[in-house]
Structure 1
Amino acid sequence: MNILYETDPEFMERFDAFAKQEVVEEPGQELDDTTRYMAVLAALLGCQSVEMYKFVLADALGSAITPVMAKEILYQAVDYLGMGRVYPFFAATNEIMMDKGIKLPLEGQATTTAENRREKGTAAQVEIFGTEMENLCLILLKAEIYSDYRVCFCFFRFV
């Protein structure tokens, strides 16, 4: 993206003013840097913008996002976007981290095991969505309408 400052300076002047001042400083809409970077990185994953993701991740790792946080955003994206869409972002993330001297692999962060991930996933859903979620999951599982993959993969599969 740095090349745009040379090839399209007027555009970048306005883009920077919009993205780094107007949006960030809009009254009543402020986000702390960590939350803002997490949202931007997730959005870039969702729209498949690998090059912009690399640019933002390099900036985020230098200020508000830890390597563990960046990896967790990436891991959670697999649950919603699929590995095929997220795979290029693994390479991009690892490239940026290695360029910054971050040793890979990162230290393990798992809070579940293969044996307890379903139980802990259900508990997380109940905590987030309320006790109705536990009964709903059981009813849907029995009716074979709902797969417990969401429990295993979206809630505590990788963390």
Structure 2
Amino acid sequence: MPTQAARTTHDALFPGHVPTLDRTDPELVEIFEDFAFDEVLAQSRLEPRLRLITQLAALIGAGALSEYRVMVGAALTGGVTPVEVKEVLYQAVPYVGMGRAYDFVHATNDVLTPANRRR
């Protein structure tokens, strides 16, 4: 089971969410959550909003579309505005290219306008 600090941070960013890998890979989830939501944060000098913005940029750069989609929701929960989410994405285009950013634009729009989700 993840540490109390990791559970508290996870629950604040993802209210009511249980990781899908929790059923099949609970040990991996525990290791990741302890690292990402406890150990790394204990050393962080960034305020939470800036940290979430940085995480979005890193996920775009890594091409991690599925995790990016989840983290956009967490960023919005953590106080990042929709305009800031879009700005991170727009700023990434010259560095990762429009071909890579294109799917992230659609994912961002899906999260920000759920009624218009692409089928």
Bucket of the pairwise TM-score, normalised by the shorter protein: 0.7 to 0.9
Tell me whether 1:25 sits opposite 2:32 in the alignment. no
TM-score, structure 2 length as denominator? 0.77
- Secondary structure of the residue aligned to 2:90 is helix
Is the 1:37–1:64 contact (alpha carbons within 8 Å) kept by the matching residues of 2?
no
Superposed CA deviations along residues 68-103 of structure 1, whole A, max 9, x for unmatched, are 00000011111211111100001110111123x7x9
Residue 79 of structure 1 is aligned with which of 79, 83, 94?
A: 94
Gaps of 5+ in 1: 104-159
Give the CA deviation at 1:17. 0.9
- Secondary structure of the residue aligned to 2:92 is helix
2:55 counterpart residue number: 40
Structure (1 or 2) with the larger CA radius of gyration: 1
Q: Which runs of 4+ in 1 moved over 2 A?
A: none
Aligned residue type for 1:8: D
Q: Could you tell me how far apart the structure 2 residues matched to 1:48 and 1:20 are?
A: 21
Q: Percent identity?
A: 41
Q: Could you tell me how far apart the structure 1 residues matched to 2:24 and 2:34 are?
A: 17
Give the CA deviation at 1:2. 2.5
Gaps of 5+ in 2: 1-17
Q: Could you tell me how far apart the structure 2 residues matched to 1:65 and 1:80 are?
A: 22
Aligned length: 99
Superposed CA deviations along residues 10-60 of structure 1, whole A, max 9, x for unmatched, are 11112111100100112xx32111111111110110010100101111111
Q: Could you tell me how far apart the structure 1 residues matched to 2:111 and 2:22 are?
A: 21
Tell me whether 1:14 sits opposite 2:31 in the alignment. yes
Q: Could you tell me how far apart the structure 2 residues matched to 1:20 and 1:4 are?
A: 16
TM-score, structure 1 length as denominator? 0.58
Say what the alpha-carbon RMSD is for the aligned residues: 1.8
2:84 counterpart residue number: 69
Please list, as runs of the form range in 1=range in 2, the aligned pairs for 1:80-99 lying within 5 A after superposition.
80-99=95-114
Is the 2:52–2:78 contact (alpha carbons within 8 Å) kept by the matching residues of 1?
no
Aligned residue type for 1:60: A
Superposed CA deviations along residues 76-134 of structure 1, whole A, max 9, x for unmatched, are 111211111100001110111123x7x9xxxxxxxxxxxxxxxxxxxxxxxxxxxxxxx
* Structure with greater helix share of residues: 2
